[in-house]
Amino acid sequence: MDITLIMLDRRGALTVDSQLQDSDPTDGQKPNDHCAVVGICGTDESFPYILASLKTLQHRGQESAGIATYSDGLIHLKKGMGLVSEVFSSRGNFNDITLEGKVGIGHTRYSTAGSKSMENSGPFLVSNSVGHLAISHNGEITNAERLRSELLKSGMTFRSSSDTEVMLMEISRNIVNHGIIPGLKLSMERLKGAYSITLMINDRLFAIRDPMGFRPLCIGKFQGGYAAASESCALDTIGAEFLRDVKPGEIIEIMPDDIKSILTVPSKKLAHCMFEYVYFARPDSIIDGREVYSARVALGRELAREYPVEADVVFAVPDSGRAQALGFSMESGIEYSEGLIKNRFSERTFIMPTQELRNSALKLKLNVISSEVRGKRIVLVDDSIVRGNTMKRIVDLLRKAGALEVHVRIGCPQIISPCYFGVDMKTKDQFIAAGKTVDEIAKELEVDSLGYISTDGLVRSIQKEKHDLCLACVTGEYPINVHGPTAAGQSELERFIPEDT
């Protein structure tokens, strides 16, 4: 594990410790979201609140974690590769360092833009004539390369390949030239794509959400201060009362005794990511007024109505398919049972030195309860299928354990198109559904039947207007216009350039 400690003084002096990247030897079966962000401003030290919030939001990114605080003219930053508990372990090398400050931000990361390296972990820092800036970002800036080129020509330098650093440099330039609030507004007009951010400018804390509202961001109040976080479950952890979501296009300043809506940059349309409700968010979170757990149960009920089947038992692929499986069981009347058991400690414990061991990695993660499987017709429910490799292996496990039939039901339509807004699905050759019929996919998975929820059924379950959701990965219709690559149907896609940049 690698930990970096950075302290910026009034002169902007910088010290960085060693940088050694950790690696995850197993391929995940699901897409990953970009990261989680947190911001705290209160009358007490912010560090313990940020740490607890990041641990709650660990599901949004397991690659790196970091916290930055501000006090007495200093920004203090501690970050490293690995889980929050690893980076901030009491056994670490920096347990004698206290991140002092009543204002702070936190970040967990899974890379979707930029490589997996210490340089690309957040939060990011920069100093200018206004003072010290620190940023945590969830999402993806679609015009980052164009902005990077402009900034390089103006004399700015970059330490990473991350779009978050591009965002920070753009904000830094604009607030120097125009002032803090006008500079933030100008930055929002120039930045395209998905971003929910927490931003420190010296001791001032801001929560900002892009005008289309791709990624979630909410505000809460706790005894002695206010908080911003990617999901409301983080507010619950620190005893904060959920106040509201940050509106799409809104800049909120967070103070110890109040929050202030500075301005809102309007957009003609919204594009809330449907995958937040299907998979990314914790089920106990509320996002844009909709409880995630209830949405997932509704997805399962809709699946049972759209694709009924005669079977003996309903299983979930743990843990992602559990709420959908419960909904399917409730609607169909077929008994729900735990037929697959997940080893929650396998992913970061075992390093697979050979291809043979890598191929058998699933057995380290999942095992069957034979008595629940043998001689039964099974409905296997999951939230989504991307590549299909893991689903195929799970079906094989059930067959070998004695399942008579395996019927797969998926609480998300077929994923057919790349995401450019903060999800690590970038090429069409990643998707088992690309260019295949449902029958062809069923044959490849070796299942008795296969049913994906319809797009209309998905929308009904989430209880949002269709035009307010980003459904690009299942429809191929992007909320921001894209140039040729997707229309050309290439399997390897270049990052698109939005037409309105």
List active site positions. 35
Contacts 24+ apart (CB under 8 A), 176-182: 176/128, 176/129, 176/130, 180/130, 180/204, 181/251, 181/262, 181/263
112 CB-near residues (< 8 Å, 6+ apart): 32, 34, 140, 422, 423, 424, 426
DSSP 8-state code for residue 247: P
Contact 339, 369 (CB under 8 A): yes
Contact 78, 47 (CB under 8 A): no
Contact 382, 316 (CB under 8 A): yes
159 CB-near residues (< 8 Å, 6+ apart): 119, 165
Cis peptide before 319 (omega within 30 of 0): yes
Residue 332 CA to residue 217 CA, distance in Å, equals: 35
Q: Which residues pair with 222 in a beta bridge?
A: 225
Q: Which residue has the tokens 């590549």?
A: 387
Tokens of 56: 């709650």
Which stretches does DSSP call E strand in 217-357? 218-222, 225-229, 241-245, 250-255, 258-264, 272-273, 286-287, 290-291, 313-316, 340-342
Contact 309, 315 (CB under 8 A): no
Which stretches does DSSP call E strand in 190-296? 193-201, 204-209, 218-222, 225-229, 241-245, 250-255, 258-264, 272-273, 286-287, 290-291
Residue 103 CA to residue 43 CA, distance in Å, equals: 9
Q: Half-sphere exposure of residue 198, counting CA atoms within 13 Å on the CB side?
A: 35
191 CB-near residues (< 8 Å, 6+ apart): 141, 143, 147, 167, 170, 210
E strand or H helix at 127: strand 124-127
Which DSSP string corresponds to 3-22? Answer: EEEEEE-TT-----------
Reading phi first (left if > 0) and then psi (alpha if -120 to 50, else beta), residue 388 is in left
Angle at 494 between CA 123 and CA 445, to 5 degrees: 95
Smallest CA-to-CA distance from 342 within 364, 359, 373 is with 364
Phi, psi of 199, deg, nearest 5: -135, 125
Distance, C-alpha 326 to centroid of its chain: 24
